[in-house]
Structure formats: structure tokens, C-alpha cells
Amino acid sequence: MGDPRAPAAVLAGIDLSAVPAPAQSVLTTILERRSVRGFLPTPVPRETVEAILAVASRAPSGSNIQPWKVHVCAGPVRDAICREVLAAHDAEAADPAAGEPHRDEYRYYPEKWRDPYLTRRRDLGWALYGAVGIARGENDKMHRQRGRNFSFFGAPVGLVFTLDRDLSVGSWIDLGMFMQNVMLAARAYGLETCPQQAFARYHRILRQHLAIPDDQIVVCAMALGLPDPDEPANRLVSEREPVAAFGSFHGF
């Protein structure tokens, strides 16, 4: 994994001096975005969240249908969601049958893993566990670390993203671009984020607290808040493949 002390542009091998000065901040915001797994409890004003969502809504969508929906929780609503989802997570670990009510509504990962994706996933997982001092075989500690997802990693604000169930694949692409805008806009306000698909499994609990109708599918959630500078997990910097590994150029 990369050295978190190194500038993001250095880690990505980008020469910002070749970019006009006004645009450098845009590239820096993209390069420095990361999934933060430890937040301060400092409240985020509703007006700030609304501003972030307003900026994010400039994301493109097919024929401008703007399919995204966002259910924002904070305070006692957020706390109740966290308690119930974490309790369900713990109960399922103790007895797999307890997880029967909590079924995934869509498949996020492949049914059968293969390289290079399996190796990348494992590398990130062990890097994260190493950052927080969890060794191989410490299953109870791993379970507790996974459970931190369901406290939004301590963030005071949780966002839950949904789509109308009758929409098609293109709207999922649109939602992804909208979510990226949310994450980048948050950084402009000094905030950080962590997208969390793990919450989607517990959509029944989310529906009860956020009045999400059955005709919307819960796609994922996202933590939003000020990063905790003392959280060991926040020292993790995940690697990215070089352009040569995924880019194919023709006619240049």
C-alpha cells in the first residue's frame, strides 16, 4: 500500500505542474478522495448536506432523468439504525439462521472470484486489518471491525441511496456518478466519506426508519463527517493499477 504521507499526485504519478493552476485543485480533490473508516462525532449542519447534494445533482444522467434518491439520517434516527443493524449483524454471526430476514436484493460481487480481482480484494482486506492491528485468525476482532460499518464508522451523518425498482442498468451508472460527486463535493466542505454497500443487506431495517417504500431498491449507504486524525484505519492508502493495466489506446 502507498505511503499516506506522500502527496496524492506523487502516489498517482501525476505531474500537476502540467495542469493550469485553477484546475489543479480539481485534480487534487479527486486524487485525495479516499474511504475514511473513522470519523469525529462533530455534527454536520443540514444546510451543508443539502449544499453537497445540490452540487452532486449536476452529475450526468441518461436523458437527464436524474434517478437518484437520497435518504439522510442523523441524530436519534441515525443512532437507532446503527443499533438495530449492528444487533442484526452480531446475531447473524452467532447463528446464521438469524440472518434469514436480511437478504441481499442484488449481487454486488461476482458469484465466483478470480484474479486479478480476488488478489486485489485480499490485499486491501489484509492491509486494512494490519492498519488496525488485527492478525490472521483473529476472527472476533475481524467481526468487530466489519461491524464498525454499521455505526457509519462514527460519522454523524448517514446517507442511504435508492433507485426506483423498475429502472434499468443505466440508472445504476447514473447513481454511481452522482455518488462520486457527493464524495468530491464533501471534500470542498472539509468533510470525508465512505461508501458502504454493506448496509444494503439490512434494507428492511433502513426502510422502517427512513420510510423507504418497497418500490425503491436500497443500493448502498455512505458515511459523511469530519475524519478522525487518530484513527489507524485512516492511514491506509489503497493502490491503483497503472493506466497501462486497464487502458487501451487506438489511433494515437
pLDDT tens-place string over residues 36-95: 999 999 999 999 999 999 999 999 999 999 999 999 999 999 999 999 999 999 999 899
Q: Count other Cβ atoms within 10 Å, centred on residue 229.
A: 9
Give the confidence band of 8 by pLDDT, cuts at 50, 70, 90: low
Q: Count other Cβ atoms within 10 Å, centred on residue 193.
A: 26
Listed in sequence order, the residues at least 6 apart from 213 whose beta carbon sits closer than 8 Å to its beta carbon are 207
What integer is the mean pLDDT of 32-38? Answer: 96
At residue 64, what is the residue type? Answer: N
Give the confidence band of 98 by pLDDT, cuts at 50, 70, 90: confident
Among the residue ranges 5-14, 39-48, 65-74, 136-145, the one predicted with the least confidence is: 5-14
Sign of CA dihedral 236, 34, 187, 148: negative
Q: What are phi and psi of 160, to 5 degrees?
A: -120, 125
pLDDT, residue 130, reads: 94
Domains of the chain and any CATH numbers: 1-32 (no CATH), 35-241 (3.40.109.10)
In a 13 Å sphere around the CA of 18, the CA atoms on its Cβ side amount to 4
Mean pLDDT of the chain: 94
pLDDT, residue 34, reads: 94
Sign of CA dihedral 209, 210, 214, 218: negative
Provide the whole-model pTM: 0.93
pLDDT at 141 over 80: yes
Sign of CA dihedral 208, 211, 216, 218: negative
Sheet strands (E) in 69-183:
69-74, 157-164
